[in-house]
């Protein structure tokens, strides 16, 4: 399962309204809820926030990957928030996060869940892709960057 | 088939996908028709979990939690395949291992002296990066014995259904 199979333009936002971690997580969760893949919003939110409480998923270089497994998810769902100026996400390097990959998976989808997390890790380890995503002018453009990176529309 | 069968031992790679169930059906059919021993192997992908922790995506407790999930998943699949084989009158060996998946499968194929590795259809490889990271692809290239990649689930289902129990 690829990132581009989980995302589409409607699951990518370049206009995050919030500037705080919980608000951003809720915004991305709402996108995922709209996709119909999440049964219980409050349960899903609790799972993500409980995971954040263990240690922030704000990484380095402007990347954050809030994630969890929860029975609230009917299937693996993803959303992506892009904020050029960055948002406070309690990141490992103390810098604002610009790419926020939200991932929620059913409890029973451990294999696929870790594979997708591995794919996000690989994707975001490529500086040129990260820079291109941060500079994307639209959801469609961001989605095309990911598809291209995953080889679906060629290099 | 009797006497000097060229395939005495078949290793079945189980990865928790639908494709591996198709591979299991075919492996059972082959095992029965060739009178070969069938060993089903599931490998918990410890290396990916550790990579995620190293990348700070996972915390240690989360890594351990997912490891347990994967282990349970593996046991469930192996039990299911074992039951499938039993329903066709075949006793198989199952093994759950942990480690770098392609490395462990390759080692086990050697250790068991497998004549054939049976695995499910490979995921499509659309980029160079895929072939570096896809465990199925790596196993296919790495094992020393012959590899049978099972396709056409509808046909295999028919073959399996028609097997005597």
Give pLDDT, residue B33.
94
The domain that holds A82 is classified in CATH as: 3.40.930.10
Domain of A48, in residue numbers: 3-149
Select from 1.10.3430.10, 3.40.50.620, 3.30.930.10, 3.20.20.140 the CATH code of B9-154.
3.40.50.620
Instruction: State the total domains in chain A.
Output: 1
* Residue A57 confidence (pLDDT) above 60: yes
* Position A153 confidence tier, pLDDT thresholds 50, 70, 90: very low
The pLDDT tens digits for B113-165 are 999 999 999 877 656 666 667 889 899 999 999 999 999 999 999 999 999 88
Active site residues of A: 67
Give pLDDT, residue B123.
77
Of all residues in chain A, the percent with pLDDT exceeding 70 is: 97
Backbone angles phi, psi at A149, to 5 degrees: -60, -35
Q: How far apart are CA A137 and CA B17, in angstroms?
A: 37
Instruction: Indicate left, alpha or beta for A151 from its phi (over 0: left) and psi (-120 to 50: alpha).
Output: left
Give pLDDT, residue B164.
87
What ipTM did this prediction achieve? 0.90
Note whether B57 contacts A55, CB cutoff 8 Å.
no
Of all residues in chain B, the percent with pLDDT exceeding 90 is: 84
- A53 within a domain of the structure (yes/no): yes
Q: Which of B20, B55, B134, B135 should be substituted to probe chain A, the one whose Cβ sees the most A Cβ atoms within 10 Å?
A: B55
Distance from CA of B122 to the nearest CA of A (A): 12
Note whether B57 contacts A151, CB cutoff 8 Å.
no
A23-53 in b/e form (b: 16+ CB < 10 A) is ebbbbbbebbbebebbeeeeebbebbbebbe
Q: What residues of chain B lie within 8 A of the CB of A130, using their CB?
A: none
The pLDDT tens digits for B35-69 are 999 999 999 999 999 999 999 999 999 999 999 99
The pLDDT tens digits for A22-56 are 999 999 999 999 999 999 999 999 999 999 999 99
The string of DSSP codes covering B101-155 is HHHHHHHHHHHTT-SEEEEEPPPP--SHHHHHH-HHHHHHHH-SSEEEEE--HHH
- A12 within a domain of the structure (yes/no): yes
Distance from CA of A136 to the nearest CA of B (A): 22
Tokens of A153: 């529309």
Of A18, A1, A2, nearest in space to A100 by CA:
A18
- A155 within a domain of the structure (yes/no): no
Q: Where are the domains of chain B?
A: 9-154
- A72 within a domain of the structure (yes/no): yes
């Amino acid at each position: 399962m690829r990132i581009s199979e989980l995302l589409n333009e409607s699951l990518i936002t370049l206009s995050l309204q919030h500037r705080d971690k919980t608000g951003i997580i809720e915004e991305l969760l709402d996108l995922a809820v709209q996709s119909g893949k999440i049964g219980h919003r409050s349960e899903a939110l609790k799972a993500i926030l409980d995971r954040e409480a263990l240690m922030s998923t704000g990484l380095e270089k402007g990347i954050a990957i809030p994630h969890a497994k929860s029975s609230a998810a009917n299937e693996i769902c993803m959303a992506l928030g892009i904020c050029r100026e960055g948002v406070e996400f309690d990141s490992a390097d103390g810098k604002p996060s610009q790419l926020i990959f939200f991932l929620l998976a059913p409890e029973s989808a451990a294999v696929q869940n870790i594979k997708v997390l591995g794919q996000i890790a690989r994707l975001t380890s490529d500086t040129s892709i990260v820079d291109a995503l941060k500079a994307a002018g639209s959801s469609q453009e961001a989605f095309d960057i990911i598809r291209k990176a995953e080889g679906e529309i060629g290099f | 088939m009797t006497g000097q069968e060229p395939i005495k031992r078949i290793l079945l790679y189980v990865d928790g996908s639908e494709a591996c169930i198709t591979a299991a059906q075919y492996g059972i059919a082959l095992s029965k028709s060739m009178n070969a021993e069938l060993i089903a192997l599931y490998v918990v992908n410890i290396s990916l979990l550790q990579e995620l922790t190293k990348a700070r995506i996972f915390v240690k407790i989360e890594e351990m939690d997912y490891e347990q999930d994967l282990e349970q998943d593996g046991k469930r699949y192996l039990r299911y395949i074992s039951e499938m084989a039993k329903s066709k009158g075949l006793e198989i060996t199952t093994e759950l291992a942990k480690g770098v998946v392609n490395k462990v499968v390759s080692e086990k194929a050697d250790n068991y002296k497998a004549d054939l590795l049976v695995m499910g259809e490979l995921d499509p490889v659309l980029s160079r990066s895929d072939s570096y990271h896809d465990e199925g692809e790596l196993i296919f290239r790495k094992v020393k014995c012959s590899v049978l990649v099972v396709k056409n689930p509808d046909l295999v289902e028919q073959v399996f259904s028609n097997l005597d129990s």
